[in-house]
Amino acid sequence: MRRLSQSPTDPAFVQDPYPFYDRLRAAGPLVWWDEYDMPVAASHAVVSALLRDRRLGREDPNPPPRPAHQAGFWGVEDHSMLELEPPRHTRLRASVLRAFTSRRVAALAPGIEALSNELVDAFPDGPFDLLDAFARPLPVRVIAQLLGVPERDAPRLLAWSNAMVGMYQAGRDHAAEVAAADAATAFTAYLEHVFTDAPDGLIADLLRVEAEGGLTRAELTTTCILLLNAGHEATVHTLGNGVAGLVAAGLWGRTVDDALVEEVLRHDPPLHLFTRYAQQDVEIHGHLLKRGERVGLLLGAANRDPVPYPEPARFDPTRFPDAPAATSFGAGLHFCLGAPLARLELRIGLGALASRCPGLRLAEPPRYADIYHFHGLAKLSVTRD
């Protein structure tokens, strides 16, 4: 197996990781990434296969000791279906799907459209940051509506979400870990108060599932936090990256249909690295992974593989629906539960922007935030003609 070195905190890499992904892909089906001390996959075929490989999973069979200052974070995260395997994952996902139905998601459409137009109505004259004005408030307020918590609490939910997601940032420090633990503790206390008020919305339905024995209180709390953190963070980045990609490609104002949404998800996805642990000794492409060892699946690299996506750097909605699905939502057992909601928000949100702001253009070159292995803009300064 070839070895390659690339610091995930290098500013040039954070701004454009795709040239390194090309090197990885050319080096073989699995390549050792020195800085992560594990093999990684970068091609669409291998990433897609390993996402579905049940010999690999999200749970670490040999979890390391955890520092005391992280306890608040893991007290929540240890109950997340995103980090669990069957049989517990199966029970949790089935319980949540009883409440998080396609009908409930579809019913959010009028509210998403109204909120999108409300945010556009508030756009200032002159240059402004589209992330702050649109991409950040839209998904967090939609999630608040979905859960049944007051929209006025959205800024607090957003702050807690951002702090908790910091635990997955390359090069995180002690302060970030403390902030994540404090945010998880505060979020848990907030939800305990919400639960006593019998809110209307998804939380009310999940409380009924809990009463029937489908969820424990810890699982209920973590599920609500997961719905916010996973759904919000990814959608913010996808909206920002999507607008920047459309404008750069000269396609701004194009009709926002399902094919365009799929290309937004493929072209510059919000999550680039998803880790799996070997649940048993397993050989993958000639490399032996012992039980508990990791392999990295590079979703962003798979989406830029020229084999299924000719000229992958080019933003081209016409490649869908004939091209294979991008890996942005994962695949297999852990396929993103919120994918239908994310697609709905992107279609309606981008559609409102395109129809209401046909002259939208960049006021300055966009820059990505230093948040790898997430991939999203720090700021998106735009103007309207």
Contacts of residue 250, defined as CB under 8 A and 6 or more positions apart, other chains included, come to none
C-alpha closest to that of 343 among 356, 357, 360, 326: 326
Percent of the chain with pLDDT over 70: 100
pLDDT score of 229: 83
Q: What is the average pLDDT across 272-281?
A: 96
- Choose from 48-52, 76-80, 199-203 the range with maximum mean pLDDT: 48-52
pLDDT higher than threshold 90 for residue 385 = no
Q: What is the average pLDDT across 162-177?
A: 88
pLDDT score of 44: 98
Here the tokens at position 185 are: 């503790």
pLDDT tens for each residue of 93-115: 999 898 888 899 999 999 999 99
pLDDT score of 170: 81
pLDDT higher than threshold 90 for residue 352 = yes
pLDDT higher than threshold 90 for residue 172 = no
Beta-ladder partners of 298: 273
283 compared with 169, residue with greater pLDDT: 283
pLDDT tens for each residue of 248-262: 999 998 999 999 999
Q: What is the average pLDDT across 318-328?
A: 96
Q: What is the average pLDDT across 59-74?
A: 92
Q: Return the minimum-mean-pLDDT range out of 6-10, 133-137, 208-212, 354-358.
A: 208-212
219 in Cβ contact with 79 (< 8 Å): yes
Which H or E element spans position 173? none
Q: What is the average pLDDT across 44-52?
A: 98
HEC profile of 195-249: HHCCCCCHHHHHHHHHHCCCCCHHHHHHHHHHHHHHHHHHHHHHHHHHHHHHHHC
The number of beta carbons lying within 10 Å of the beta carbon of residue 32 is: 18
C-alpha closest to that of 231 among 108, 118, 323, 372: 108
pLDDT score of 287: 95
120 in Cβ contact with 352 (< 8 Å): yes
pLDDT tens for each residue of 297-307: 999 999 999 99
pLDDT score of 273: 96
Domains annotated on the chain, with CATH:
3-384 (1.10.630.10)
64 compared with 354, residue with greater pLDDT: 354
pLDDT higher than threshold 80 for residue 198 = no
Q: What is the average pLDDT across 286-308?
A: 97
Q: What is the average pLDDT across 79-90?
A: 92
pLDDT score of 98: 85
